[in-house]
Every structure is written in C-alpha cells, then in structure tokens.
Amino acid sequence: MEALPDLDNLETYKADKSRLGQALERLPQDAPTPEERFPPPYGVVGFGEGWWPAELLRDRFPDTLARGTTFVLAGGYDHGKLAGLLAAAREESERVVVLGFGPEAEVKIPSSPLSPYRYLRYLLLATGELELAQSLEAALKAELERTAPYVPSQENPAKLLAWSFLERTPLWVASERYPMLAQALQQVFARVGKSLSIAPPPAALEFFITALEARHEQGDPLVAVTLGTDEEIELAKEVLATRVDYLEELDPPKAKGPLPEALAYWYRLAWAAYYLALLYRKDPGDHEVLARLREAAS
C-alpha cells in the first residue's frame, strides 16, 4: 500500500496546482475595501457564495431591502431571482451596492470557496463596523499562526484534524451562537476537501438519537466535531459518544464575540479541508466543471 503524503514535506504541496494554499495564507487581509460608508439603514441579501455572510448579519440587518442602502451579494446561482430583486431594491433604496462576480457586480469578489470572509469584511467596513472587521482579521491571523503549512503537524491543529477526517465523514455540531456555521462548514469542506460531511437539521438531538443509532450499528465511519459550548452541545456530546467512531472537541479560537469566533472556526476547518485534499492527492481548488456549470446557469 502506498504511503500517504507527508504534510510537513514541501513535495506534498505540488498537488495544489490552483494555489489555494496561498489564497488561504493571504485571506485575513485579502478583501476589497469600500471607498465610502453608505447611508443607513441597511438591508442585505445573498445568493450563491454570498448566502452565509448575509445570514451572519441578519441580526444586525434584519431587512432584505432597506430605505438607506441594500447590499446584494451576487455570488452566483440566483435562479433568475437577482434581476427582480435588483429592480425592487432600486425602487426602495437610496443606494444599491452589488458585490460578486456576475456582470451586475460593481464590487468584484471572484468566485472562491474562501469568498464568505471577503463579503463579510466588506459589509462591516461599508456599514461603519470597523472594530468588528478588525476583530475578524485578528481572529484569522491568530488561526493562521497555528494552521499554516510551515507549522509542524504535531503543533498544527488543522493538520491533525485532516488526519482525523481521513476515510471518515465529519458531522458538524455547532453552537447556536454561530448562525448556520455547520452548513458553511459543509460547503467549504466539499469544495476544498472534496469530501462529504453532515450538517444536522434543527432539533439535532432527535437526529443524533435516531438516525445515528441506526447508522452506527452498520459501521459508518463518522467523526463528530463540536464547535463552541452550550447546554445543547453538552447533551449532544453525551449522545454522540456512543454513536460515532470519534468525537473531536475543537478548542476555542483566540477571538471574542460570535462573529470572530465563527469565522475563526470556519478558517481553521478550511485549512483542515485543504490538508485533507492533499492527503488524498487532490488539488484543493475548484474543479473546472464548477466554472462551466456557473456559466451555463448564468
């Protein structure tokens, strides 16, 4: 049997033909910066790659359309909804700002599995949330110091996670403190790690007790990954301990507040997905077929 790649050997990184590792390293500061602050109140709606940033800001900007500025995150796959929404926004709002990679976008954010951070950072700066934007950047930089390729495996939590995920299916168990984090992890893990993972539905404890009991008896190789802590997470860990092969409790990031913490977890697991792709000898970047599908759907 052929030996698995060594994540501490530079030769392993030749599989990264798309240079996603470089994009991951640059990410904390690699985002567009608005030239002005836009008038409040704010609304936000996201399509495709912009869906998670819009959800993360839903508590701050509960409206889709707002009288002041509506931000439209045109991240692809709008299924014909974008044109109608833009027309309505231009009737309702003083300003409409379109971010993304389609022809309507005035703020260009290229398609990438890493784009959620770029959308989010731009929105925070554009709405005067400078301190929070700086907290996000600091949280990612703190993770980078631990997860970058030059950090040896035994000191690198992302590399260790990649080994935990090898030939296993992760099940993301995230605190409600982090809106839609499990779904965002499922997405980045698929695109970067080229692997399946599970984001549990609402009422997750019922799911763990029923579906996972049946599948565990049949030998499914599952690893449950818990992110954050609260009463429901603690109950989930008790249930999952007997229903998965392995339980991975992630240590908290060096960040304060739900948004920086959520993005730090997401960034750490994007790195883990990157290393997993390398262990499988796969290019971590997007397949060409995804770009062709976008062109056909636009």
- pLDDT band, residue 88 (cuts 50/70/90): very high
Mean pLDDT of 126-155: 97
Q: pLDDT band for position 203 (50/70/90)?
A: confident
How far apart are the two ends of the chain, measured CA to CA in Å?
A: 44
Q: Are both 27-128 and 151-279 of the same fold?
A: yes
Question: Given this model, what pLDDT does residue 147 score?
Answer: 98
**What is the pLDDT, as a whole number, of residue 134?**
97
Q: Determine the pLDDT at residue 2.
A: 75
Q: Is the pLDDT of residue 271 over 90?
A: yes
The whole-model pTM stands at 0.94
Residue 294 has a pLDDT of: 62
Predicted pLDDT of residue 207: 86
pLDDT of 292 reads: 64
pLDDT at 216: 54
Given this model, what pLDDT does residue 223 score?
A: 95
In this structure, which topology does domain 27-128 adopt according to CATH?
Rossmann fold (3.40.50)
pLDDT digits (tens, 9 = 90+) for 100-121: 998 899 999 999 999 999 999 9
Instruction: Find, among 196, 204, 188, 201, the residue nearest to 222 by Cα.
Output: 196
Return the CATH architecture of domain 151-279.
3-Layer(aba) Sandwich (3.40)
User: Would you kindly state where each structural domain of the chain is located, as residue ranges?
Assistant: 27-128, 151-279
Give dist(CA 194, CA 282) in Å, integer.
8
Residue for token pair 């959520």: 262
Q: What is the pLDDT of residue 250?
A: 98
The 10 Å CB-count burial string (b at 16+, else e) for 180-208 is bbbebbbbbbebbbbbebbbbeeebeebb
Task: Determine the Cα–Cα distance for residues 267 and 261; give it in Å rounded to an integer.
Answer: 10
Confidence of residue 295 (pLDDT cuts 50, 70, 90): low
